[in-house]
Amino acid sequence: MEFVAILVSAILVNNFVLARFLGICPFLGVSKQVETAFGMGMAVTFVMTLASIITYLIHRLVLVNLGIEYLQTIAFILVIASLVQFVELFVKKASPGLYDALGVYLPLITTNCAVLGLAILNIQEKYTLMKTITHAIGASIGFMIAIVLFAGIRERLALADVPECLKGFPIALITAGLMSVAFLGFQGLSVL
Amino acid sequence: MIETILDPVLALAGLGLVFGIGLAIASRVFAVEVDPKVEAINKALPGANCGACAYPGCGAFAEAVAAGKAPVNGCPVGGADCTENLGNIMGVNAEAGEKRIARVICNGTDCNAREKFNYEGMKDCKAAIMVQGGSKACEFGCLGLGTCVDVCPFDAVYIDNGLAKIDEEKCTACEKCVVECPKDVIEMIPHSQKVAVDCNSKEFGKEVKVKCSVGCIGCKICVKKCPFDAIKFEDSLAKIDYEKCTNCMLCAEKCPTKAIWADFDNRKKAVIIDDKCIGCTICAKKCPVDAIEGELKGLHKVLDDKCIGCSVCYEKCPKDAIEMK
């Protein structure tokens, strides 16, 4: 039951993008087409899950043992940066199409606050390894839902008759704000 | 005491080392071979990312060239040097396309063209044509509000006396202004072209005349006068075939409304080199304006006041005895 609570909470109630406002850069940058948004979601999912596991292990095995938990942030950034480099190498080899589609946003996951935020939240909440993984999966599904929904709306917006002064990013930001307000409704779920 | 400093340093350095080695191995395992040509081509390109090649940027164009999908002379901005470099990289001997420049084919300055009304709206041609197609009486002419000026990445367009003008030296033939102009009054012409019809009006005769003093009225005098059959009429507007035109400027001289522009200052004249001329009379026979005289086997002479600089004699002379100056 606790796992379900963590999952639902990460997906809906504390949605990383729309409730915690983490990872806004790729959310706005790679959401012009559903297809690339989905690709970005997959990349973030992969990095988030892997990063959570590794940061958890490093925190437990290295930082706690040596009593240097205060180096959390810098160590996690190191982990995430290396991981993203690895994912980039991997995607370039495995799927050049996805690599081209993600473009500059793949390296940008390096500095994506959603990934770092997730790693730090895991430690703060004192999750076990299994809970950490569940939380990571929930967070990435939440990110995926947000970015794919947003991309779907933006695809329609591209064809809509938007006033000249609101074309492009202004209307996208307004849309994102409205989505965030909609997700606010889940606060009442109180699964935790 | 020393541990409190050493531990974190060693721990982080150790982590960094592990990840570094891991990445080094991964980059070997997942190595993707990048065509070295792409890099070389990218360096040879201007790097303006203007998109004139119809690719999203210099990088995408470089990839397309390396893949053989784009021609080496596809970059209009880089010019002949760039084309040559790309040709060397790709191992093809590319004909550098002749440099072209944009030209506003309208001479309807504030004093030449009549206005329908006073336009005091936004300084933008696209906005202006919303109101009755613009303030100029001629619906084909340049409005001179500078939409092309705004769009030119090279500062090559300026407004002079209510008319857009193009700086030939700065123009890189990226065609952005051609695309942007709502009146379609900008045309690409070869850089060496010294004669052009500066009118875009598809109307005829009096209808043109009442609206603009320098419009093409469709009298077809230029067609009759052209010795090279290089002028054709489309929609009662003279069009010069730049392949056939020899820049003799005869049409510009004869045009009754001066709708044809010609660079008279740089008009060339044929000069016969006395030592080389053998008196074969070919030049005299070929000259369309009878500007060369001379007896068979005698020295020939060019009559300067008649010569129009068409360079036909220069091309036909079997002894290369004629120069264009």
**Last residue in a domain, options B152, B167, B192:** B192
Residue B120 included in any domain = yes
On whether any CB of chain A is under 8 Å from the CB of B234, the answer is: no
- Most confident listed range (A59-68, A145-154, A159-168, B143-152): A145-154
Mean pLDDT in residue range A14-31: 86
Task: Note the pLDDT of residue B17.
Answer: 94
- The alpha-carbon gap from B9 to the nearest alpha carbon of chain A, in Å, equals 10
Alpha helices, DSSP H only, in A59-161?
A: 65-66, 72-94, 96-102, 105-108, 113-124, 129-159
Based on the domain organization, do B169 and B187 belong to the same domain?
yes
Both structure tokens of B265: 């200052």
Residue B256 included in any domain = no
Both structure tokens of A105: 């946003």
Percent of the residues in chain A that have a pLDDT greater than 70, as a whole number: 94
* C-alpha to C-alpha distance for A37 and A147, rounded to whole angstroms: 6
pTM of the entire structure?
Answer: 0.52
CATH number at B61 reads 1.10.15.40
Based on the domain organization, do B82 and B123 belong to the same domain?
no
Task: Return the higher-pLDDT residue of B2 and A182.
Answer: A182
- The alpha-carbon gap from B142 to the nearest alpha carbon of chain A, in Å, equals 25
Task: Note the pLDDT of residue B96.
Answer: 54
On whether any CB of chain A is under 8 Å from the CB of B56, the answer is: no
Residue B226 included in any domain = no
Q: CA of A49: how far to CAs of A23, A83, A88, A131, in Å?
A: 15, 11, 16, 11
* C-alpha to C-alpha distance for A40 and A34, rounded to whole angstroms: 10
CB B242 within 8 A of CB B299: no
* C-alpha to C-alpha distance for B256 and A72, rounded to whole angstroms: 85
* Banded model confidence at residue A191, pLDDT cuts 50, 70, 90: low
- The alpha-carbon gap from B130 to the nearest alpha carbon of chain A, in Å, equals 15
* Banded model confidence at residue A178, pLDDT cuts 50, 70, 90: very high
* C-alpha to C-alpha distance for B293 and B301, rounded to whole angstroms: 6
Task: Note the pLDDT of residue A139.
Answer: 93
Mean pLDDT in residue range B106-127: 86
Query: Which residue in chain A is spatially nearest to B11 when comparing CA positions?
Result: A62
* C-alpha to C-alpha distance for B36 and A36, rounded to whole angstroms: 28
Contact A78 B16 (CB under 8 A): yes
Cα A77 to chain center, whole Å?
15
pLDDT at B39 over 90: no
Based on the domain organization, do B63 and B112 belong to the same domain?
no
Based on the domain organization, do B106 and B172 belong to the same domain?
yes
Q: CA of A169: how far to CAs of A159, A166, B304, in Å?
A: 14, 7, 66
pLDDT at A66 over 80: yes
Residue B121 included in any domain = yes
* C-alpha to C-alpha distance for B44 and A57, rounded to whole angstroms: 48
Phi and psi, residue B259, nearest 5°? -80, -10
Residue B222 included in any domain = no
On whether any CB of chain B is under 8 Å from the CB of A57, the answer is: no
- The alpha-carbon gap from B27 to the nearest alpha carbon of chain A, in Å, equals 7
Both structure tokens of A71: 């180096």
Q: Using the structure block, give the residue that is written with the tokens 């609206």.
A: B211
Task: Note the pLDDT of residue B97.
Answer: 60
* C-alpha to C-alpha distance for A106 and A81, rounded to whole angstroms: 11
* Beta-strand relationship, B322-324 and B270-272: antiparallel
Q: CA of A68: how far to CAs of A73, A177, B5, B11, B110, in Å?
A: 11, 39, 10, 9, 78
Cα-based torsion angle of the residue sequence B66, B70, B72, B73 in order, rounded to the nearest 10 degrees: -160
The secondary structure element, H or E, covering residue A167 is: none
Question: How many domains in chain B?
Answer: 3
What DSSP character marks residue B309? Answer: -
* Tens digits of residue pLDDT in B168-223: 888 888 888 888 898 899 998 888 888 899 999 888 888 888 888 888 988 888 88
Of B7, B30, B32, the CB nearest to A68: B7
* Tens digits of residue pLDDT in B221-234: 888 888 888 888 88
pLDDT at A148 over 90: yes
pLDDT at B284 over 90: no
Based on the domain organization, do B129 and B183 belong to the same domain?
yes
Residue B50 included in any domain = yes
For an interface test with B, which of A66, A88, A91 has the most B Cβ atoms less than 10 Å from its Cβ? A66
A to B CB pairs, distance under 8 Å: 46
Query: Which residue in chain A is spatially nearest to B27 when comparing CA positions?
Result: A89
* Banded model confidence at residue A53, pLDDT cuts 50, 70, 90: very high
Mean pLDDT in residue range A80-94: 84
Query: Which residue in chain A is spatially nearest to B4 when comparing CA positions?
Result: A68
pLDDT at A150 over 90: yes
Radius of gyration, alpha carbons of chain B:
29
Task: Return the higher-pLDDT residue of B6 and A190.
Answer: B6
Contact A58 B15 (CB under 8 A): yes
Task: Note the pLDDT of residue A173.
Answer: 92
pLDDT at B49 over 70: yes
Task: Note the pLDDT of residue B94.
Answer: 52
- Most confident listed range (A140-149, B83-92, B311-320): A140-149
Radius of gyration, alpha carbons of chain A:
17
* C-alpha to C-alpha distance for B76 and B83, rounded to whole angstroms: 9
Task: Note the pLDDT of residue A147.
Answer: 92
Alpha helices, DSSP H only, in B91-155?
A: 125-128, 147-151
pLDDT at B283 over 90: no
Contact B23 A86 (CB under 8 A): yes
- Strand partners for B102: B188
Task: Note the pLDDT of residue B38.
Answer: 83
Query: Which residue in chain B is spatially nearest to A55 when comparing CA positions?
Result: B15
pLDDT at A192 over 60: no
CATH number at B281 reads 3.30.70.20
Residue B163 included in any domain = yes
Contact A92 B32 (CB under 8 A): yes
Helix axes A72-94, A34-58, angle to 10 degrees: 140
Task: Note the pLDDT of residue A102.
Answer: 66
Of A75, A86, A92, the CB nearest to B15: A75
pLDDT at A133 over 90: yes
Based on the domain organization, do B121 and B166 belong to the same domain?
yes
Q: Using the structure block, give the residue that is written with the tokens 């030449």.
A: B112
Q: What count of other Cβ atoms lies within 10 Å of the Cβ of residue A171?
A: 18
On whether any CB of chain A is under 8 Å from the CB of B54, the answer is: no
Mean pLDDT in residue range B50-69: 78
Which chain B residues contact residue A93 at CB under 8 A?
30-32
Task: Note the pLDDT of residue A104.
Answer: 62
Residue B197 included in any domain = no
**Last residue in a domain, options B75, B97, B119:** B97
pLDDT at B21 over 90: yes
On whether any CB of chain B is under 8 Å from the CB of A90, the answer is: yes
Look up the domain containing B287 and give its range.
Answer: 270-324
* Banded model confidence at residue B20, pLDDT cuts 50, 70, 90: very high
Alpha helices, DSSP H only, in chain B?
A: 2-29, 36-44, 58-66, 79-90, 125-128, 147-151, 176-180, 206-209, 221-225, 250-254, 282-286, 312-316
Q: Is B20 helix (H, G, I), strand (E, B) or coil?
A: helix
Based on the domain organization, do B23 and B61 belong to the same domain?
yes
Mean pLDDT in residue range A4-31: 87
* Banded model confidence at residue A56, pLDDT cuts 50, 70, 90: very high
Task: Note the pLDDT of residue B93.
Answer: 61
* Banded model confidence at residue A113, pLDDT cuts 50, 70, 90: confident
**Last residue in a domain, options B35, B66, B97:** B97
Mean pLDDT in residue range B149-161: 87
Contact B11 A85 (CB under 8 A): no
Task: Note the pLDDT of residue A190.
Answer: 64
* C-alpha to C-alpha distance for A20 and A14, rounded to whole angstroms: 6
CB A110 within 8 A of CB A62: no
Task: Note the pLDDT of residue A52.
Answer: 92
Mean pLDDT in residue range A168-181: 91
Task: Note the pLDDT of residue B274.
Answer: 82
Based on the domain organization, do B26 and B71 belong to the same domain?
yes
Which chain A residues contact residue B20 at CB under 8 A?
82
